[in-house]
Amino acid sequence: MEGTAPLLSACAGPACPALCRARSERTADVSQYVSRLGSSRMAPRIRFPGGNRKPRRVAMLSVHTSPLHQPGTGDAGGMNVYIVELAKRLAAINVEVEIFTRASAGGLPPAVELAPGVLVRHVDAGPYEGLAKEDLPPQLCAFTHGVMQAWAARRPGHYDLVHSHYWLSGHVGWLAAERWGVPLVHAMHTMAKVKNAALAEGDTPEPATRVIGETQIVNAADRLIANTAGEADELARFYDADPAKIAVVHPGVNLDLFRPADGRAAARARLGLPQEAFIPLFAGRIQPLKAPDILLRAVATLLEREPSLRRRIHVPVVGGPSGSGLAKPEGLQKLAARLGIADVVHFRPPVGQEQLADWFRAASVLVMPSYSESFGLVAIEAQAAGTPVVAASVGGLPVAVRDERTGFLVPGHDPAHYADVLAGFVRDPSRTERMGAAAARHAQSFGWDAAASATADVYQAAMYEHRRRTRATHY
């Protein structure tokens, strides 16, 4: 492990000295715990010891993006959907959730009820606007101070557990869990080493600060939740995570919202799309990691091969610039012009979940050429709406998409290969309906209720082991 203190110790702010002293007082205990865990590296991944006590209340941390933000804008994406849906379903099984997130605008209320049993707390940490997530490490101390203030106003034992999302939240969660004497459960969502190993051309590598921070969190967490077995393997391979601490819990999909409903023709009518068109859809944040340029290049290749298709192809790109894509916010539009396909590519802003479901229903196929995906929630949402998916064979997408049944997995990122697959849908329009029906059936196994139940089991196991370890230190 590179260093023992979290990145909070490098921050500045009025709360830092006391917080970092509290952190350092317990470093020895944590180091000993990590050493003990290292001796059981071959333990089974899912079967944790049980216990009778279930969590009553969870402090959930999402520092850099609010669950109230519109997915597809800024840094809001699949993780936002994940947190919202998971929190709602946990509340439905009597696990209250308080989500702490950084206030990104002035005048926000201190707390907002997202749903019964789910509270979103806005924490002041740094300027409200103009901070990218890469700028947030120096604000972690201020964020932690806000979390501690909320905790101090409660009775002892108010939170049973901390569940942090993404590495920035993990550092706040690390300190909070130790200060409160509760376990830390962490979900990476994405990992720097994995992203850097499959970097898109021209994209910016994740910094060493994040790599070190993630390594520290992996060692400090009581439990790590991975979206897929592949992600669990990456945690062990890239970060030397103890397999005994890793639980695989597939994300879910809102099956009430994302469903075939009244069909493709009705969705196209609502969106003003041509009924007979071939519509390959991209939906997501516009950044090199998500590779929307691969779809545009594939479409250009397809039109070179079949010029007559130009009259009946309609390519929607639904989403906004994000991450490194903000450096060239109009780069994709310029690429479409250079490729000579600006007349068939239609850029649309991010939309809410209900309208996004209509876009999925309207599409002939969803295209996800991503370089890295921890799971690919959009792929499951599209399939639940009855639309097949053409996706890169990376990350969790081979779990989300059943190759040649509910869509196609494409090895690599050669636009010509994507053009080959899309041509198959053009030649056989019935493939969309046939594979779309199979996709909708496949998605039924990814409900959020099952994900919440499995997550609650992880919580319970973490609490059991934490109590056992605490008792052992007192006797």
Instruction: Give the model confidence (pLDDT) of 165-176 as tens digits.
Output: 999 999 999 999
Domain shared by 190 and 285, yes or no: no
Q: Regarding predicted confidence, which is higher, 461 or 104?
A: 461
* Gyration radius from the chain CA atoms: 23
DSSP notation for 188-242: -SS-HHHHHHTPPTTPPPPPHHHHHHHHHHHHH-SEEEESSHHHHHHHHHHH---
Higher pLDDT residue, 46 or 362? 362
Mean pLDDT for 181-203 is 91
Say if residue 383 is in the same domain as residue 395: yes
Residue 19 lies in a domain: no
* Amino acid at the residue 24: S
CA angle 312–317–323, rounded 5-degree value = 160
How close are the terminal C-alpha atoms of the chain, in Å? 29
Q: Select from 68, 58, 166, 143 the least CA-distant residue to 109.
A: 68
Instruction: State the pLDDT at residue 24.
Output: 40
Q: Please indicate, yes or no, if residue 194 is contained in any of the structural domains.
A: yes
Residue pair 322/74 in contact (Cβ under 8 Å)? The answer is yes
**Number of residues that this document lists for the chain:** 475
Of the candidates 170, 251, 257, 261, which has an alpha carbon nearest to the alpha carbon of residue 216? Answer: 170
Rounded CA separation 356/229 (Å): 28
Please tell me whether residues 348 and 272 are part of one structural domain: yes
3 state SS of 110: coil
Residue bearing the bigger pLDDT, 26 or 117: 117
Q: What is the pLDDT of residue 206?
A: 92
Annotated binding site for 1D-myo-inositol 3-phosphate: 64, 75-80, 133, 166, 190, 210
Better-scored residue on pLDDT, 31 or 257: 257
Q: Cα–Cα distance between 96 and 75 in angstroms, integer?
A: 26
Query: Hey, which of 7-11, 32-36, 460-464 has the most confident mean pLDDT?
Result: 460-464
pLDDT band for 329, please (50, 70, 90 cuts): low
Residues 174 and 321 in one domain: no
For residue 399 the two structure tokens come to: 């779990």
- Above 60 in pLDDT, residue 21? no
468 and 422, same structural domain? Answer: no
Spatial contact of 161 and 457, defined as CB atoms under 8 Å apart:
no
Whether residues 183 and 78 share a domain: the answer is yes
Are 140 and 210 contained in the same domain?
yes
d(CA 300, CA 296): 6
Work out the pLDDT band at 126, boundaries 50, 70, 90: confident
| Percentages (nearest 5) of helix, strand, coil residues in the chain | 50, 15, 35
How confident is the model at residue 36, as a pLDDT?
A: 35
> Are 244 and 231 in a shared domain?
yes
* Per-residue model confidence (pLDDT) at position 287: 87
Question: Are residues 371 and 442 part of one domain?
Answer: yes
- Which pair of structure tokens corresponds to residue 161? 């557990």
CB distance 369 to 243 below 8 Å: no
Is residue 52 a part of any domain in this protein? no
Question: pLDDT tens-digit profile of 233-288?
Answer: 999 999 999 999 999 999 999 999 999 999 999 999 999 999 999 999 999 989 89
Question: What CA–CA distance (Å, rounded) separates 324 from 204?
Answer: 7
CA nearest neighbour of 387 among 443, 345, 346, 427: 443
Same domain membership, residue 418 and residue 292: yes
Q: What is the pLDDT of residues 194-204, one digit of tens each?
A: 999 988 877 88
Binding site for UDP-N-acetyl-alpha-D-glucosamine, by residue number, is 70-71, 78, 285, 290, 351, 373, 381
CATH number at residue 426: 3.40.50.2000
% of residues, the chain, pLDDT over 70: 85
Give dist(CA 71, CA 223) in Å, integer: 27
Name the DSSP letter for residue 74. Answer: T
Task: Report DSSP state, residue 398.
Answer: H
Residue 9 lies in a domain: no
Residue 314 belongs to a domain: yes
Is 15 a domain residue? no
| Helix intervals (H) in 114-159 | 140-152
Which residues make up each annotated binding site for Mg(2+)? 360-361, 363, 387
The CA distance from 141 to 172, in Å, is: 8
**For residue 474, is pLDDT > 90?**
no
The number of domains in the chain is 2
CA distance 156 to 153: 9
Enter the tokens of residue 218. 């992996």
> What is the per-residue pLDDT across 48-94, written as a single tens digit (0 to 9) for each?
444 557 899 999 999 988 888 766 555 667 788 899 999 999 999 99
| 285 and 357 fall within a common domain | yes
Does pTM surpass 0.85? no
Is 392's pLDDT higher than 50?
A: yes
User: Do residues 142 and 233 share a domain?
Assistant: yes
- What CA–CA distance (Å, rounded) separates 427 from 121? 52
Q: Which range of residues forms the domain containing residue 270?
A: 264-446
Per mean pLDDT, which range of 73-87, 146-160, 213-227, 404-418 is the poorest? 73-87
Which residues does the annotation place in the binding site? 64, 70-71, 75-80, 133, 166, 190, 210, 285, 290, 351, 360-361, 363, 373, 381, 387
Q: Is residue 187 part of a domain?
A: yes
Structure tokens at 171: 């550092």
Q: What is the mean pLDDT of the chain?
A: 87
With respect to residue 92, please indicate whether it lies within any of the assigned structural domains. Answer: yes
pLDDT of amino acid 48? 45
- 111: β partners: 121
- Which pLDDT score is estimated for 5? 54
